[in-house]
Amino acid sequence: MNLFTLMQQLPDKCVYGLFNDQGKKVYIGYSNNTPKTLCNNLLDLKYSNKDFNLLEFKIIEAIEDSNRLKVRYEYWVSHYSNEGWEMYRNFKAVQYKLRIEVKNDELVKGGGNVLIYVKLVSRGYREVVVGVFDDLDECNKFVADNYSNIIDVIFCSNELTIKYRKFL
């Protein structure tokens, strides 16, 4: 069965798991649109988890009522934890994508300057500015040092970023 056919057969709303049977580890998630969630996230998962090739996707429970998704998700996390499965923590790369924007400064330096904004953008398009730079090399170093894999949200401690965060 090809991937496209498989995607068409997935339930829209479900709790799903990515299981590593060898290491007895599991990532459990839920979605209102399972096919879209998987399409959007498979590449991110591949590059954010060293165990990717060991993971097996399974539908844990199809859910009809969207209001019950989170409750059932929490049940299954508890169930697998109690069964001795180690939980993969959230795949941060799935939740956030790195975006770099260059734009005219109107806030930090008082206008007239071009600044580089490093942002994390969630799937819901919520943005978090983690760095503000006026030097491209400084920006590239910050990104290389902290965001080659997005594991946690790290704010730059340079003067421009601190100034920007004070305005929030």
**For residues 14-33, average pLDDT:** 88
Tell me how far the alpha carbon of residue 99 is from its chain's centroid. Answer: 13
Query: Mean of the per-residue pLDDT values for the chain?
Result: 79
* Confidence (pLDDT) at 57: 85
Q: Phi, psi (5° rounding) for residue 16?
A: -130, 165
45-93 pLDDT, tens digit each = 655 566 777 888 899 999 998 888 888 988 898 899 889 998 876 544 4
> What residues contact residue 153 under an 8 Å CB cut-off, 6+ apart?
92, 96, 120, 128, 130
Beta strands 56-62 and 25-31, pairing class: unpaired
Ordered structural domains, the chain, with CATH = 10-89 (3.40.1440.10), 93-167 (no CATH)
**pTM (predicted TM-score):** 0.52
* Confidence (pLDDT) at 94: 46
